[in-house]
């Protein structure tokens, strides 16, 4: 057996284990066809190297390591259900391959239908675009965009090596890709402070937008070019911020600014990130306690022309906070 055959064999076994691990969480129940996409698309072709933190610094693992055990360690790491740091600049993470189980959740929650035109904002390694292309069975239905030409060129090469050729665009994801519109679905794999209005203008009525906002996953239904509304999913989500026009980095907001049970609580950190500077830490804490420490699904976002706001329980209820537009 040659080196390539050995890699393929190990990868196939590891990929099968990953698919079973994700399936054990019930992710495939909404749309079982995604199981086949994750089983077929070879993640290792999209992550020829990645970085792990060792003694406080990034250390690279890669497919061409001279030591065979090191190459095997790289390959098995590719199919672990963890996010992988794929691009580091000046000690700062600028791109990654998301945790596969989170990718599976997001793709199933995108509710893709046969024939849908899909825009992905944040090309990453190209792996997510390949999964979409496999699911839809038509590369031309998928567009992925990223601001960094190094990222898009790398994604394009990975996709071609795996046999997929969706449209890979270098540009500001906050502006969408108007020349490829209209879209039935938009999925973002980068964190937002608010939803770019340009996306709505490039969607068909009834389109679904799934994007990380604050530290949650927001699922919006688009009514028309000026209106959209939706709620957050239950799961936490942490992504590299979107870089582009009108976008600022989403606030991290430490929860240890207040005492007691809020310290370190993920749901309180979500409220702080969502409300930003609108609520002081003490006000946010009082609201959080008074409302029974609300889960993410109780929050949502509404867009009405130039106004965009987050809310708790009801779009026009007493608890609503403006988002940057």
Q: Which residues are catalytic?
A: 95
Which residues are CB-neighbours of 152 under 8 A, at least 6 positions away?
Answer: 123, 144, 145, 146, 168, 169, 170
* 245 vs 187: CA distance, rounded Å: 18
Residue 16: count other Cβ atoms within 10 Å of its Cβ.
13
Closest CA to 109 of 273, 198, 220: 220
Q: How far is CA 266 from CA 33, 107, 284, 297, 309, in A?
A: 32, 23, 14, 14, 21
């Amino acid at each position: 057996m040659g080196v390539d055959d050995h890699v393929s064999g190990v990868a196939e076994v590891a990929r099968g284990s990953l698919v079973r691990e994700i399936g054990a969480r019930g992710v495939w129940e909404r749309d079982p066809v995604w199981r086949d996409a994750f089983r077929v698309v070879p993640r290792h072709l999209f992550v020829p190297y990645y970085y792990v933190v060792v003694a406080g610094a990034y250390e690279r693992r890669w497919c061409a390591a001279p030591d065979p055990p090191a190459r095997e360690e790289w390959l098995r790491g590719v199919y672990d259900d963890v996010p992988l740091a794929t691009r580091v600049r000046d000690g700062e993470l600028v791109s990654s391959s998301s945790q596969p189980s989170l990718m599976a959740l997001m793709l199933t929650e995108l509710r893709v239908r046969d024939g849908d035109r899909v825009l992905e904002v944040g090309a990453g390694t190209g792996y997510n675009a390949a999964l979409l292309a496999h699911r839809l069975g038509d590369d031309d239905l998928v567009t992925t965009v990223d601001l960094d030409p190094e990222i898009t060129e790398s994604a394009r090469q990975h996709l071609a090596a795996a046999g997929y050729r969706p449209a890979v665009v270098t540009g500001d994801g906050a502006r969408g890709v108007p020349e490829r519109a209209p879209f039935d679905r938009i999925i973002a794999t980068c964190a937002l402070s608010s939803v770019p209005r340009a996306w709505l203008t490039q969607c068909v009525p009834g389109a679904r937008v799934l994007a990380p906002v604050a530290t949650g996953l927001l699922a919006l239904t688009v009514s028309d070019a000026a209106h959209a509304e939706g709620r957050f999913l239950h799961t936490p989500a942490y992504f590299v911020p979107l870089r582009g026009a009108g976008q600022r980095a989403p606030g991290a907001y430490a929860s240890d600014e207040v005492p007691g049970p809020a310290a370190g609580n993920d749901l309180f950190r979500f409220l702080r990130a969502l409300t930003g500077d609108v609520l002081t830490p003490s006000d946010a804490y009082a609201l959080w306690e008074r409302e029974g420490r609300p889960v993410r699904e109780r929050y949502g976002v509404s867009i009405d022309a130039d106004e965009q706001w987050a809310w708790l329980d009801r779009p026009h209820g007493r608890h609503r906070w403006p988002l940057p537009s």
